[in-house]
Structure 1
Amino acid sequence: MIKLKPEAIIVNTPELLPVSILYQIIFGTRIVYDIQENYHLNIKYLSPLPSFLKPLAAAWVRGVETMSAPFVRHFILAENSYTSLPFIGSRWTVLQNKALPLPAPATGKGDLNAPVFLVSGTLSLTYGIREAIDAFLKIHETIPGSQLHLCGKVPDKKSLQYVGETIDNHPSIKLTGGAGGVPYETIQSAIAQADFGLVFYPENPAINECFPTRIWEYMSYRLPMIIQEERMWTNYCLEKKAAVIFKSGQASTGDFLSILDSTFYPATIDYSDIYWTAEEHKLTELVNTLTLDR
């Protein structure tokens, strides 16, 4: 039997913070808290708990995080917005879930009279499947030959029911995946075959300041995107010439086709910051610092 004493423990859920701190006190180690979500806001605004329990559970999680903070050597943050969390101080590194570089990302668009739109990844009401479908149906009124491909996992019964009923009523929408999800290679294939990605999310304090992972994925494939106005990622996508904003009022066929025929992903723009490469370097430096700083 091989026994190892870890030099660092990476904790990625608040429930494991107390036992990790106990281990630190008894055996000595460094704790890194990997904050993948704003758990406090998730419980308040996304949890299926009864309404009267949500504030209590959210307060308990925030209390655990706050009391554990002095024992944490470093915080890893999945979003830039998490730097405002009140308990992390200045001991943090942002590691966003960016895309892996592709050998030859696809460019160009197919037939604009019959474009294929895509929503991939988590297909839930919480993460905007209703808003994306509503936008597509308005587009479909303008471009009757358009199709919508939903590819990914539908994680809950309410979302699954909504998606199923929508597909039954609209033959132009198809689903690959469902409750069981799909292999990531299937999602990659769907991105490569699509003409446009749809990125729409509902207003919700738990996700308003989160950068959708699918944006990195779509950009890595040079997939043009149709996006919302006034979201935290809107200006970034527009600056990269990766997207156009959809307004339901611009419903004349000629106007909308001209928008879809915009120039996307020009060679003059640097896209190196969309990839995981830089994040990987930051992670390596952090691990080296933690293990060498005895």
Structure 2
Amino acid sequence: MSEKRILLASLLKPINDTRLYEKLGLSLSKIKGASIHLAGYETPIPAGAPANIHFHPIFQFKRLSMGRLTAQRDYYRLLQHIRPQLVIVSTHELLLPTLLYKARYKGVRIVYDIQENYSLNLRSQHNYSWPLKHLLALSIRTIERMCATSIDHFLLAEHSYADELPFLDNRYTFIENKYKASLKLPPLATPVSLPKTGQLRLLYSGTIAEEYGVWEAIELARQLQIVRPEVKLTIIGYCANSHTLAKLQQACQALPFVEMIGGDKLVPHQEILEQIPKSHIGLLPYRPNASTFRCIPTKLYEYMAHGLPLLIQQNPLWQGIVEGNDAGRAVDFSRINVEELTQELSARNFYKQGIPTTIYWESEEEKLLQVITPLLPKV
């Protein structure tokens, strides 16, 4: 039997990324006769990977540098070296070199794994000046439109993308970022309640950014100190914005109850997960923004899988999942009555019906294999 070579590539995600490796990569490695290749940003290669998964940490550059252009050249050389029959692209910048590869070699199939609406993110967030962010957003959408007819299928991480992206043409499948445990979790005792006295540990994990409410998390911890002096906030993840990072580092030095892990470097996903069972409340204090309002953060599923009570920003999509499963409470982080909130949370039980089975990756793996298998050569 000939080898079925699949390349999964992301320009900005590390090769040990949760979705790239732990979800898509490991799930596809179950296909009989498949050889899985992962190309991504340089980080340590995961230990204990299946023998048919191969890692190519070929990207290493500053986000705003010429390295992003030379990375596309390096990626095209990797394509020619591996000669995959199926390429799953997770970054818009890799679409054009992938199409060039497809034009040169017969029978190549392309899947675009859309993890973010990049164009909307640029327009809605404030990382660049107004003219630059709109120019970048237009260029991304132009590339996606140009490439769309040559893409065989689209994987959508969010349901909202089906409405937001005009080039999909019904060739898509929802593959959500549900929880995938690297190790089987022990049975959790439910319902869950918060400690009425002693230390109360808050957790903010993942991407560290103003849009994701890192300052709101710190302000909540500061106010909680008034009624629960032993409050501790752990911030763990990576902050790409150097200005925000410098301010955070100063804040953490001035506030002994705030601890930051990572910040200036990527934190292995397993280290982030290890903080969850050590915590009492998981925070999702996202600022209302068009780029995130209709998306479900991966950490929401991660917190729920560990039975962690949540405090989320008011959002109808999130509230249906969180409050519908007794997993936490929606609040407006810009105006919280801390005394009332503390009393309410202390009196509540969470996860009274147990951990919901709908939050796990297994259902997404089944859909993924149903989509990808027919795209592979019949050999």
* Matching residue within 82, 87, 91 for 2:171: 91
State how far apart, in whole Å, the 2-side matches of 1:3 and 1:15 are.
20
Which amino acid in the other structure matches residue 139 of structure 2? W
More moved, 63-72 vs 227-236: 227-236
SS at match of 1:130: helix
Q: Which of these residues, 178, 183, 186, is aligned with residue 271 of structure 2? A: 186
- Give the aligned partner of residue 119 of structure 2: 40
Within 5 Å, give how 1:17-166 maps onto structure 2: 17-28=95-106, 29-46=108-125, 48-84=127-163, 85-101=165-181, 102-104=184-186, 106-107=188-189, 108-109=192-193, 111-113=195-197, 114-166=199-251
- Could you say which residue in structure 1 is the equivalent of 2:331? 246
Q: In the TM superposition, what is the alpha-carbon distance from 1:221 to its structure 2 partner?
A: 0.6
Describe the shift of the 1:70–1:293 C-alpha distance in structure 2 as closer, same or farther (beyond 3 A): farther
| Counterpart-to-counterpart distance in 1, 2:355 and 2:249 | 40
1:227 aligns with 2:305: no
Instruction: Tell me how far apart the structure 1 counterparts of residues 211 and 154 of structure 2 sit (CA, whole Å).
Output: 27
Distance 2:132 2:236 in 1: 34
Q: State the superposition RMSD in angstroms.
A: 2.4
Structure 2 Cα separation of the partners of residues 127 and 166 of structure 1? 17
1:54-101 CA deviation, whole Å, 9 max, x = no partner?
A: 222211211111121111110011111111111102110111222124
Q: TM-score, with normalisation over the residues of structure 2?
A: 0.70
Question: SS state of the match for residue 282, structure 1?
Answer: helix
User: Aligned in 2, Cα 1:293/1:112: closer, same or farther, shift over 3 Å?
Assistant: farther
SS of the counterpart of 2:112? strand
Give the TM-score normalised by structure 1. Answer: 0.89
Any stretches of 5+ residues in structure 2 without a counterpart?
A: 1-79
Q: Secondary structure of the residue that 2:160 maps to in structure 1?
A: helix
Question: How far off its partner does 1:143 sit?
Answer: 2.3
Q: Per-residue deviation at 1:279?
A: 1.0
User: 1:195 and 1:25, CA in 2 relative to 1: closer, same or farther beyond 3 A?
Assistant: same
For residue 150 of structure 1, give the secondary structure of its aligned residue in structure 2: strand
Q: Which moved more, 1:197-206 or 1:51-60?
A: 51-60
- Per-residue deviation at 1:182? 2.8
Aligned length: 291
Mapped contact 1:156–1:179 kept (Cα < 8 A): no
Partner of 1:256: 342
**Cα distance, 1:232 vs. partner?**
2.6
Deviations 1:182-212 (A, max 9, x none): 3323222211110111111012222222211
Distance 1:123 1:54, change over 3 A: closer
Alignment-mate amino acid for residue 146 of structure 1? V
Whole-angstrom distance in 2 between the partners of 1:103 and 1:182:
21
